[in-house]
Structure 1
Amino acid sequence: MTKRTLRALLLSAPLLLASCSWRDSVVVYLTSDARGWTLRSPEDEGPAPAGFPVLKKVIENEERPFLLFHAGPWLSGPPESLPQRAKAAAECMAGMPYAAAGLLGEDLDLDPARVERALKDSPLPLLGSNLYLKSGKRLPFAGRSVTSAVGGTSLGLAVLTAPQPDKLVWPKYGVRYKFEKETYEVELALKEMSAAGAGIKAVLLEIGEGDGAMEFLKYFLGHFNGRVNLALVKSPAVTKRFTYKGTLVVPVLDGLNRVELRLSPKGGLADASHGTIRLDAEKHGSDPAVEAMLDSHRSGAQATLDRVIGTLPYPLEPGNSGPSTAGAWAAACLKRWARGDAAIFDPADMRAPLPRGEVKLGDLYRALPGENSVVFVKIRGQELLEFLRDSAGRRLSYAGVSYDAASGAGEADGQPIQPGRLYRVAIPDSMVSETEYTILSTAMEFSNSRHPVRDTLRWCLGHRQPARPAMAGMEF
């Protein structure tokens, strides 16, 4: 190598390093899965995550212009402490430069009315681009897109949930919401972004579990053919950055994601890099003001979860096989509350036992974390007998009805089930969404009470009901 060549390389080295640092770039931070960042759920174990106090220190040290978004979930946890969690999270996000938060993941298990009440005073924009109430109305507390200025450009963002990626039919339905077609909603969001002057048009897309996630993503991106510049994707199928049909695809992983966007001369998107940052208090520090604010909310929420709601003379165990004391008691509770002829309960819905003696609200949430509600079913005796026959051997708990598989005979309230009579049966709506249970396919009529199963069990605990044995050897 000649001296002239070596000199040229040495002179060009700073320029090469400068190009690698992307001086004409902006940063997008995404926090994902903030469960436990404000208030921990009763079933959470291990050390609490560092969360917002450390995040505050990380973004204070960022040298590039940046935007900060939350990629959900952030509201999940006991509904009874939702107001405290939502207020704490909203205050944390208001104290940091969050541009918006998406309603994603377990946030969608919560009742929309509860969420709206909890967030009514929050200034933080919420996004749920393809989320609708089951009535068909758009959510009054969530928008379709937001456009925010950053550095020498502006970024528009839409947030979408794509459940059941293997089924290209719409609308799709969850427990609480209706999901409209993703491409249709993004077309509307792109018009909003264009009107707001967005230089970069992005989507945050959470793809549900199941086969076909990557095939769905390619279908989705192929529809836009590069009109969506950046796709931030929450899915196990996407673990590294790639480009497809003119769209840069970047994974969104749990924790804090840092996405650096290299800008074109006109403020568009030229390239992107992705990494995650571990929220380590020893490395980054922790903001004491944020810690103090969270502590003030946590004390109120913990007092709510420590409230005694009833007593039991012995523990109720869901068990893993055989008869379930918790399942039999819960079925008897549903029957009494619904004032029906019978009730059916799946012990698998209960994740932990209820303790002997005083039962706290946190105990009940730990045992039944799901957001199921009670469904009223009217069914003829003949179809009820067929359901009991088909369910023989399955681990279900019954109250008010029984079935003898050997003789094929069923009883309701101690009397033979009459084939032509209508029976009123209460079930949790978890049995509605499970294809293995066919009771609704033969029902004459059914309606969702919208009353949570957990609240029903809480009522029974407070009233020491059911008052008669739900299983042999059980006394109340």
Structure 2
Amino acid sequence: QLWKEAEGYSIANAGNFLLLSGGDNWTGPAISTWNQGESMVELMNSMGYAASAIGNHEFDFGLDTIRERSAEADYAYVSANTAGRDSGLVPKDIGIVEYRIAESGGVRVGIIGLTTTETSTTTNPATVAPLRFNNYEATLRRIVPEIEAQGVELTFVISHVCLDELEPLALAVADLDISLFGAGHCNELIAKRLDSTVILGGGFHFGSYARATFSIDTDGGVRVDFATAENAGAHADPETRAIIEKWQSRSEASLSEVLAYVDKTVPRGAVLDQLVVDSWLWADPAADVAVTNAGGIRAPLPSGAVTLGDTVAILPFDNTIVAVEISGADLIAALNEGSRPRVAGMAKVDDKWTLAATGKAPEADELYRVLINSFMYAGGDGYERFASADHNAYDTGTQYGLPFRDWLRSLASTQASPLRLID
């Protein structure tokens, strides 16, 4: 409700607004994760979104889910650089389109989407294997003339791309006269001019937003005003609140189960990561080592009553635990190659990996049973070596958050005697 009040939005002038998203709409908060984004699509429909970029985490629940959510959406999911690996064409069969042309304030606006080229390794690589994510600049040079031929007066690019890539891109295509670039992926809050274009980033979790107001003079001149704002402190929008309460009630029976009581919040970071990966070895003591990627742990462990919903927010992805048989040499190489490994059963001492059981380095030729998650086994975050070293690994079918939940339950904490997990 705050942004509507601050920006003067009303039903009467809604046609002067375009509400746009940089993607990653579905994974994270427990309610949305639990229903694979269906609740978020309904919410964004009610808010009047015109388009959303496809983020890497739109792929977390599989291509069929993208097809279902896109069919439910009143807005477009846009990604001009996503293409079928074999066809080379945008995968319209799952509801993704290259762009949308919308009218706002009597002005035709072309809205082009871009998806991070890192998607093949920042969601489950097996899920997106049928797709490729093409070069941003080449894509824009192909698409912009196409939409200009359809009479657009302003061209916007909404992207699931971080600023460190987006800003050089905007300069490289300055000749295309793109009026606005929207940043996603890194959750940056920004509103700035760069050469002849405006770059916006809206932050995350609806806690803030960025906006730009475009005015076109009768002689064709374009003026733009832009800013960022915090989105807090207003009265709740009745329709939005009703949708949230509906989905909360649907999931409450499952997600409200209390698993544990904790005396202090454990923030995202090393301590929480270690608790999670330690729980895998607790659940499977036959394994020698467990490794997860830090990017799979997404929220803090709150103080007080910890519910199933809290743990779904912490470990939201549809990953399973995979057991690989791998040599000591390949294990060390995988840990050194992959991004931010979180390890149980081993420790790094004086820049060398040693086994907790022996205090010695793994034997190069000896095989070890190592637990990883299915995202990593598919090559995500640079962990290709696990699959190349063991082509016949065993997928346990255990969701990667289940051992952590079971471990919390097993400690039988109470409100009077909460867990002390951090100093």
TM-score normalised over the length of structure 1: 0.60
Q: How does 1:383-402 map to 2 (within 5 A)?
A: 383-384=330-331, 396-398=343-345
- CA deviation after TM superposition for structure 1 residue 304, in Å: 3.2
Going from structure 1 to structure 2, the CA distance change for 1:64 and 1:379 (only over 3 Å counts) comes to closer
Distance 2:228 2:302 in 1: 39
Query: Which position in structure 2 is the counterpart of 1:18?
Result: none
Going from structure 1 to structure 2, the CA distance change for 1:319 and 1:81 (only over 3 Å counts) comes to closer
What SS does structure 1 have at the residue aligned with 2:50? Answer: strand
Q: How does 1:103-114 map to 2 (within 5 A)?
A: 103-104=54-55, 107=58, 111-114=62-65
- CA deviation after TM superposition for structure 1 residue 100, in Å: 1.8
Alignment-mate amino acid for residue 427 of structure 1: I
Distance 2:83 2:322 in 1: 22
Query: Which position in structure 2 is the counterpart of 1:362?
Result: 309
For the Cα contact (< 8 Å) 1:79–1:110, is it kept in 2?
A: no
Query: Which position in structure 1 is the counterpart of 2:350?
Result: none
Distance 2:195 2:147 in 1: 22
What SS does structure 2 have at the residue aligned with 1:197? Answer: coil
For the Cα contact (< 8 Å) 1:76–1:106, is it kept in 2?
A: yes
Query: Which position in structure 2 is the counterpart of 1:44?
Result: none
For the Cα contact (< 8 Å) 2:325–2:367, is it kept in 1?
A: yes
Q: How does 1:388-467 map to 2 (within 5 A)?
A: 396-398=343-345, 403-405=357-359, 408=360, 424-428=369-373, 429=375, 440=386, 443-445=389-391, 453-457=399-403
Q: How does 1:222-371 map to 2 (within 5 A)?
A: 222=174, 225-233=175-183, 236=188, 239-244=191-196, 248-254=197-203, 255-265=208-218, 270-276=222-228, 278-279=230-231, 282=234, 286-307=236-257, 326-333=276-283, 335=284, 342-346=288-292, 360-369=307-316
Output the aligned Cα RMSD.
5.1
What SS does structure 2 have at the residue aligned with 1:60? Answer: coil
- Picking from 94, 102, 107, the partner of 1:148 is 102
- CA deviation after TM superposition for structure 1 residue 181, in Å: 1.0
Query: Which position in structure 2 is the counterpart of 1:174?
Result: 122
Going from structure 1 to structure 2, the CA distance change for 1:341 and 1:54 (only over 3 Å counts) comes to same
- Picking from 146, 171, 190, the partner of 1:218 is 171
**Is 2:93 the partner of 1:159?**
no
> Which runs of no fewer than 5 residues in structure 2 stay unpaired?
347-354, 411-423
Alignment-mate amino acid for residue 345 of structure 1: V
- CA deviation after TM superposition for structure 1 residue 461, in Å: 6.4
Alignment-mate amino acid for residue 443 of structure 1: A
What SS does structure 2 have at the residue aligned with 1:228? Answer: coil
Query: Which position in structure 2 is the counterpart of 1:41?
Result: none
For the Cα contact (< 8 Å) 1:379–1:445, is it kept in 2?
A: no
Distance 1:319 1:157 in 2: 37
What SS does structure 2 have at the residue aligned with 1:58? Answer: coil
For the Cα contact (< 8 Å) 1:373–1:453, is it kept in 2?
A: yes
For the Cα contact (< 8 Å) 1:52–1:92, is it kept in 2?
A: no
For the Cα contact (< 8 Å) 2:272–2:301, is it kept in 1?
A: no
Distance 2:251 2:3 in 1: 18
Alignment-mate amino acid for residue 275 of structure 1: A
- CA deviation after TM superposition for structure 1 residue 127, in Å: 1.6
Alignment-mate amino acid for residue 454 of structure 1: Y
Going from structure 1 to structure 2, the CA distance change for 1:451 and 1:398 (only over 3 Å counts) comes to same
- Identical residues among aligned pairs (%): 17
For the Cα contact (< 8 Å) 1:440–1:446, is it kept in 2?
A: no
For the Cα contact (< 8 Å) 1:372–1:430, is it kept in 2?
A: no
Going from structure 1 to structure 2, the CA distance change for 1:201 and 1:303 (only over 3 Å counts) comes to same
- CA deviation after TM superposition for structure 1 residue 372, in Å: 5.0
Indicate the structure (1 or 2) with the bigger Cα radius of gyration. 1
Query: Which position in structure 1 is the counterpart of 2:79?
Result: 128
Distance 1:265 1:452 in 2: 63
Query: Which position in structure 2 is the counterpart of 1:184?
Result: 138
- CA deviation after TM superposition for structure 1 residue 209, in Å: 6.5
TM-score normalised over the length of structure 2: 0.66
Going from structure 1 to structure 2, the CA distance change for 1:329 and 1:77 (only over 3 Å counts) comes to closer
Alignment-mate amino acid for residue 216 of structure 2: L
Distance 1:281 1:377 in 2: 50
What SS does structure 1 have at the residue aligned with 2:195? Answer: strand
Query: Which position in structure 1 is the counterpart of 2:156?
Result: 202
Going from structure 1 to structure 2, the CA distance change for 1:329 and 1:61 (only over 3 Å counts) comes to same
What SS does structure 1 have at the residue aligned with 2:246? Answer: helix
How many residues are matched?
Answer: 379
Moved more, 341-350 or 292-301: 341-350
- CA deviation after TM superposition for structure 1 residue 387, in Å: 7.5
Query: Which position in structure 1 is the counterpart of 2:324?
Result: 377
Going from structure 1 to structure 2, the CA distance change for 1:390 and 1:150 (only over 3 Å counts) comes to closer
